Amino acid sequence: MATFVDRVQLQVVGGSGGNGAASIRREKFKPLAGPDGADGGRGGDVILEVDASTTTLLAYHHRPHQRATGGGFGKGDLRHGARGEDLVLPVPDGTVVTGADGTVLADLVGIGTRFVAARGGSGGLGNAALANAKRKAPGFALLGEPGEERTLVLELKTVADVALVGYPSAGKSSLIAAMSAARPKIADYPFTTLVPNLGVVEAGQHRYTIADVPGLIPGASQGKGLGLDFLRHIERCHVLVHVLDTASLESDRDPAGDLATIEHELASYAASLDEETEGRVPLMERPTVIVLNKTDLPDGADMADMIRDQLAERQVPIVDVSAVSHKGLRELSFVLGDLVEQARAALPEPEPAPIVLAPRAVDEKGFRVVTEQYEGGTAFRVQGDKPERWVHQTDFTNDEAVGFLADRLAKLGVEDELYASGAVAGSTVLIGPGDDAVVFDWEPTMVGGAELLGRRGTDDRLEERHRPTREAKKEQQRARTAARMDRIAAMEAERKAGHWSDPSDGATR
């Protein structure tokens, strides 16, 4: 079973907000003393936090779905719902967070650094908060908003001052074990190192971290071997150390050829990094040290003597070492310490993140209406943060809550915009994105406000009946009176003619 994972896809969902309460306070001699429904609690956030004891993303490989706790429901007597607990997910130092579209959202470096991956939804307002001079006792409350849902990619990039690069079995693991307290796996076959290993080196006043990462082979920049799983771990280092095997048993390899191959793969990979690593020295321009390893062996010492002059043309430090006998390790530790200190001194001073102000334009509506095809006809979709949020907050089983939504949309200008877009009575209107939108037939007469409300929880504008006007009632009364007078006149004419009849049944008496 895998014990190290450095790239995972994570589904995070913030906690849903609690629903508000619709309650009426009851007191002695006052059965209806006013609304006292409280607000629901806010849902918890999902937070990524750099933790010193976390070195792998393995936990999220096995549990890729993470959800925060929802907020509590509001209650009567103005008892507000509890806030949902935040879900804090520990991640290793050097974790890069990207969105599903590849956009970098956060670069988590430094113990304690935090990033809110998914925000919790706001709690719904209770009817006490919705009461006003016209709507004194609302019979509804707002629902809590759902939490933010996101798909993230977490990628671990090792944070080390020095990176050891080289062919498999070049002796990188033995070297870091000899220079620090790290104890990586060491064996006599290629690709022994499958995960990055970090060690801390102390040389006089110098203290720095050194990383032993999986071996490199030709084509690694295209994904061969451990490929990109290796290369991403050298992006943050200050110094590159090329570890060359001077006692290789392979006849078709030599240290100079190995160095050329490694540099070619690094250059190919660096071409896609330099634009992304703003503020850092380009990968191929960073300080470099060449380490000739295994010079304690006769063949290794002879090979080192043969190629030293050729490598000296690069004008970089060259150190002969042996991880077994510890030959040259002290010298190497001080050389690396000096280079790391110089690289740290050259780093720009960290600047606080600028505060970006993005005020809304004076004429910005906060929504827009687009026309699209829906089920073979033309529909009008309302898009915008406020309308979509209000729809999520509405209890569509409560007529008064639906009427309140209609008032809010009309006040925002949605009705006017629908008119301007060509909508007419009966047009299909959608509010919200995708298949989760609320669909209804638009009725433009849904205007007015609290003065048209009926009893609590109802809205006369949504009733399936039409209330006659005063003039219509008068006309109906005049028609009934005229019909009665005509009936009486007919009966009087029959009586005078000597016939008594009831026009209602046709009988003659």
Is residue 448 scored above 50 in pLDDT?
Answer: no
pLDDT value at residue 302: 87
Residue 126 C-beta-side C-alpha neighbours within 13 Å: 25
Angle between the N-to-C axes of helices 399-412 and 414-421, in degrees from 0 to 180, rounded to the nearest 10: 70
pLDDT value at residue 456: 61
In angstroms, the CA 142 to CA 237 distance is 52
Q: How confident is the model at residue 118 (pLDDT cuts 50, 70, 90)?
A: very high
For the ranges 120-129, 356-365, 486-495, the lowest mean pLDDT is seen at: 356-365
Is residue 435 scored above 70 in pLDDT?
Answer: yes
Higher per-residue confidence, 147 vs 464: 147
Q: What is the mean pLDDT of residues 184-212?
A: 67
Q: How confident is the model at residue 402 (pLDDT cuts 50, 70, 90)?
A: confident
CA angle 427, 430, 432 (to 5 degrees): 165
Is residue 68 scored above 90 in pLDDT?
Answer: yes
- Helix or strand holding residue 230 (H, E): helix 227-231
Q: Could you tell me the fold of the domain covering 162-346?
A: Rossmann fold (3.40.50)
Extract the annotated binding site: 166-173, 191-195, 212-215, 293-296, 322-324
Contacts 24+ apart (CB under 8 A), 347-355: 348/279
Extract the annotated binding site for Mg(2+): 173, 193
Cβ–Cβ under 8 Å, residues 154 and 49: no
Domain 368-462 class in CATH = alpha beta
**Diameter of the chain measured on Cα atoms:** 151
pLDDT value at residue 39: 95
pLDDT value at residue 455: 60
Q: Could you tell me the fold of the domain covering 1-156?
A: Spo0b-associated Gtp-binding Protein; Chain: A, (2.70.210)
In angstroms, the CA 256 to CA 273 distance is 26
Cβ–Cβ under 8 Å, residues 50 and 111: yes
What digits encode the pLDDT tens for the residues 374-383?
888 888 999 8
Asked if 1-156 and 162-346 have one fold, the answer is: no
Higher per-residue confidence, 70 vs 102: 70
Is residue 201 scored above 80 in pLDDT?
Answer: yes
pLDDT more than 90, % of the chain? 22
Alpha-carbon distances of 269 from 255, 266, 279, 343, 408, rounded to whole Å: 21, 5, 18, 22, 54
pLDDT value at residue 196: 65
Cβ–Cβ under 8 Å, residues 240 and 231: no
In angstroms, the CA 478 to CA 108 distance is 82
pLDDT value at residue 190: 43
What digits encode the pLDDT tens for the residues 280-305?
677 788 899 998 988 888 888 888 88
pLDDT value at residue 227: 43
Is residue 120 scored above 70 in pLDDT?
Answer: yes
Q: What is the mean pLDDT of residues 343-368?
A: 72
Domain boundaries, the chain: 1-156, 162-346, 368-462, 470-508
Extract the annotated binding site for GTP: 166-173, 191-195, 212-215, 293-296, 322-324
List the structure tokens of 109. 């470096």
> Which residues does residue 24 pair with via DSSP β-bridges, in sequence order?
35
pLDDT more than 70, % of the chain? 80
Angle between the N-to-C axes of helices 329-346 and 172-179, in degrees from 0 to 180, rounded to the nearest 10: 90
Q: What is the mean pLDDT of residues 412-420?
A: 88
Average pLDDT, the chain: 80
Instruction: Pick the closest to residue 170 from 212, 223, 115 (CA basis).
Output: 212
Q: Which of the residue ranges 102-116, 277-291, 460-474 has the most confident prediction, judged by mean pLDDT?
A: 102-116
Q: How confident is the model at residue 350 (pLDDT cuts 50, 70, 90)?
A: low
List the structure tokens of 49. 């936090």
